[in-house]
């Protein structure tokens, strides 16, 4: 018995050594970072997908695998600079402030529709560059609110508007080449009410002045000049008088937009909303596409943010005198079956910036329409340089949207835990060979 003790110790040491080596092996492989999953690949959670992607499926149908879906459009200004502001397209959120799960700052339970899933800060981080904000006089202040018979109540009031303006200020401060557009659905009657909160939020210094906005259909200043001059906040109001009184641009003097809500989602037609000039009015250099129903619906958004969005974008392109939208406004911007808002924006930016089907194909100084043949070449290219053109870039378009989305045949199931388990067993066997 006594002589067995050293043997036991020896066996014990050997066993510990095995475990140690096995762990070392497994750890090496496990933490040697698995390549993150790409767009369209089957996933288990958001973390397994590449950055800018989230793991999801449209239906909530468990037999349909969840895939990595893109939530962030490519930044067109990073691809090609030097073009007028109206030669780019931006993702805009409808009722940007109406976030699910938000509690009213009044303490009341909110009885208002919710249109988005994230805070303004997160939206901006995810590439949203247009915000639609409903502002009301409320509680001796200005609040973001939904109305009930034109008034703001505790149960429809989200929060004081300045909170959100401060989030925008922080983002512009931290991101010196980004430009943000805001459309205020304006119910504020307090004298200089908006001016006061914009000043108090610190956003005044980023203000893009009305005097620089063309109201005759000519091109906007270039994004470069907006960035250089630090005039990176474009604000529009729905109250015409405020242009003269407070220097806030009256939106329909500069923008045409289609009917909002369910009436605007009728297949095959793209009427302008009542307050807007006709879609094809050339004296307005900016085009806004609204695409959201009367009642926001998180589940349905996945569908209508997908192919129907692209279809409507094409319809409105034709209605707008062959102009692609500069703003694409949606509910639940992250929801789609893959070909969602980011794909729509990348397409619109491709067309606007360089006459191609995807902004990824655009390069600085390239000839307009001189696209990668693989993406399906567009119509004869007009001989204008993307970087110098002053023409509205929409002529090489109209070919509709091509599905460029990696689909499920390339699906590779790559579960970290599966690999990990395999590796532990494998490493354990190997380490036993080494020590025995």
Ligand X SMILES: *[C@@H]1O[C@H](CO)[C@@H](O)[C@H](O)[C@H]1NC(C)=O
Determine which helix (DSSP H) or strand (DSSP E) holds 383, and give its type and residue range. Answer: none
Does residue 59 interact with ligand X by CB under 6 A? yes
Q: Is 51 helix (H, G, I), strand (E, B) or coil?
A: coil
Cα separation, 397 vs 369, whole angstroms: 9
In the bound complex, what is the minimum distance in angstroms from residue 66's beta carbon to ligand X? Answer: 12
Q: Which listed residue (51, 63, 189, 191) binds ligand X by CB under 6 A? A: 63
- Of 6-14, 66-74, 210-218, 286-294, the window that binds ligand X (rule: CB under 6 A) is 210-218
In the shown chain, the binding pattern of residues 143 to 162 toward ligand X, with x for contact by CB under 6 A and - for none, equals -----------x--------
Question: For residues 28 and 218, which CB has a smaller minimum distance to ligand X in the complex?
Answer: 218
Residues numbered 1 to 40 that lie near ligand X (CB under 6 A) are: none
Identify which of residues 189 and 216 has a Cβ nearer to ligand X in the complex. Answer: 216
> Which residues share a beta bridge with 357?
none
Residue 306 dihedral angles phi and psi, to the nearest 5°: -100, -125
Query: H or E stretch including 287?
Result: strand 286-290
Part in contact with ligand X (CB under 6 A); list of ranges 55-63, 297-305, 405-413, 420-428: 55-63
Least distance (Å) between residue 138 CB and ligand X: 9
Q: How far is the CB of 128 from ligand X (least distance, A)?
A: 26
DSSP code at position 72: S
Name residues contacting ligand X, limited to 386-415 (CB under 6 A). none
Query: DSSP string of 108-173?
Result: SPP-S---BSS-HHHHHHTTEEEEEEEEEEETTEEEEE--BTTB--GGGEEEEHHHHHHHHHHHHH
- Residues 66-125 close enough to bind ligand X by CB under 6 A: 106, 108
191 binds ligand X (CB under 6 A): no
Site for ligand X in 115-144 (CB under 6 A): 139
The only residue of 4, 32, 61, 140 in contact with ligand X, by rule CB under 6 A: 61
Q: What is the C-alpha radius of gyration for the chain, rounded to an integer number of angstroms?
A: 27
Whole-number minimum distance, CB 302 to ligand X, in Å?
Answer: 13
Q: Report the residue number, 150 or 268, with the smaller CB distance to ligand X.
A: 268
Closer residue to ligand X, CB minimum distance, 121 or 154 = 154
Q: Rounded to the nearest whole angstrom, what is the least distance from the CB of residue 22 to ligand X in the complex?
A: 41
The answer to whether residue 173 forms part of the interface with ligand X (CB under 6 A) is no
CA distance 417 to 75: 34
- Provide the minimum distance between the beta carbon of 202 and ligand X in the complex, in angstroms, as a whole number: 24
Are 236 and 251 contacting, i.e. CB atoms less than 8 angstroms apart? yes
Q: Which of residues 300-359 bind ligand X (CB under 6 A)?
A: none
Q: Which of 66, 41, 45, 30 is nearest to 416 (CA)?
A: 30
Query: In terms of CB distance, is 79 or 335 closer to ligand X?
Result: 335
Tell which one of 65, 82, 113, 214 touches ligand X (CB under 6 A). 214
Comparison of 202 and 271: residue with beta carbon closer to ligand X: 271
| Position 379 contacts ligand X (CB under 6 A) | no
Gap between the Cα atoms of 87 and 393, Å rounded: 7
State the minimum distance, in angstroms, from the CB of residue 36 to ligand X: 26
Closest CB 428 distance from ligand X, rounded Å:
40
Candidates 264, 252, 238; CA nearest to 316 is 264
Task: Tell me how far apart the alpha carbons of residues 434 and 303 are, in angstroms, rounded to a whole number.
Answer: 56
Partner residues linked to 159 by β-bridges: 144
- Burial track 289-318 (b if 16+ CB lie within 10 A, e otherwise): bbbbbeebbeeebbbbbbbebbbbbbbbbe
Cβ 154 to ligand X shortest distance, Å: 4
Among the listed residues 206, 147, 141, the one whose alpha carbon sits nearest the alpha carbon of residue 180 = 206
Residues near 260 by beta carbon (within 8 Å), at least 6 away in sequence: 94, 273, 290, 292, 329
Give the list of residues 6+ apart from residue 265 with CB closer than 8 angstroms, or none.
291, 292, 293, 304, 308, 312
CB closer to ligand X out of 26 and 312: 312
Task: Report whether 129 contacts 140 (CB < 8 A).
Answer: no
In the region spanning residues 258 to 287, those forming contacts with ligand X, defined by CB under 6 A, are 267-268
- The least CB distance from residue 291 to ligand X, in Å, is 13
For binding to ligand X (CB under 6 A), which residues are involved?
59, 61, 63-64, 106, 108, 139, 154, 214, 216, 218, 267-268
């Amino acid at each position: 018995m006594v002589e067995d003790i050293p043997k036991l110790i020896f066996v014990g040491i050997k066993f510990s050594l095995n475990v140690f080596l096995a762990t070392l092996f497994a750890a090496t492989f496990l933490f040697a970072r698995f390549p993150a999953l790409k767009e369209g690949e089957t996933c288990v959670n958001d973390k397994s997908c590449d950055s800018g992607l989230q793991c999801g499926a449209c239906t909530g149908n468990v037999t349909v695998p969840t895939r990595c879906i893109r939530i962030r459009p490519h930044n067109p200004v990073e691809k090609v600079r030097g073009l007028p502001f109206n030669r780019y397209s931006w993702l805009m959120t409808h009722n940007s402030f109406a976030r699910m799960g938000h509690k009213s700052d009044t303490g009341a339970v909110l009885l208002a529709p919710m249109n988005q899933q994230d805070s303004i800060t997160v939206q901006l981080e995810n590439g949203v560059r247009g915000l639609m904000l409903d502002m009301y006089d409320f509680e001796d202040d200005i609040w973001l609110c939904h109305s009930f018979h034109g008034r703001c109540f505790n149960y429809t009031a989200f929060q004081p508007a300045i909170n959100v303006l401060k989030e925008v200020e922080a983002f512009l401060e931290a991101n010196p080449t980004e430009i943000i557009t805001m459309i205020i659905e304006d119910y504020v009657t307090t004298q200089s009410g908006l001016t006061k909160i914009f000043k108090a939020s610190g956003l005044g210094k980023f203000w893009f002045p009305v005097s620089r906005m063309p109201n005759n259909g000519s091109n906007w200043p270039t994004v470069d000049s907006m960035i250089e001059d630090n005039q990176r906040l474009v604000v529009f109001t729905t109250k015409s008088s405020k242009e003269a009184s407070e220097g806030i641009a009256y939106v329909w003097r500069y923008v045409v937009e289609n009917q909002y809500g369910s009436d605007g989602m009728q297949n095959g037609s793209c009427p302008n909303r009542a307050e807007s000039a006709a879609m094809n009015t050339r004296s307005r250099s900016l085009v806004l596409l609204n695409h959201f129903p009367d009642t926001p619906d998180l589940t349905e958004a996945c569908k209508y943010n997908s192919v129907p969005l692209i279809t409507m974008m094409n319809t409105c392109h034709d209605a707008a005198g062959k102009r692609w939208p500069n703003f694409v406004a949606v509910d639940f911007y992250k929801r789609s079956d893959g070909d969602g808002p980011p794909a729509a924006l990348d397409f619109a930016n491709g067309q606007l910036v360089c006459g191609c089907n995807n902004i990824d194909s655009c390069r600085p100084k390239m000839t307009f329409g001189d696209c990668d043949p693989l993406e399906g070449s567009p119509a004869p290219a007009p001989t204008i340089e993307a970087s110098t053109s002053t023409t509205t870039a929409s002529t090489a378009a109209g070919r509709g949207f091509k599905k460029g989305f990696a689909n499920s045949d390339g699906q590779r199931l790559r579960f970290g835990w599966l690999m990990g388990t395999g590796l532990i067993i494998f490493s354990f066997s190997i380490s036993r060979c080494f020590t025995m």
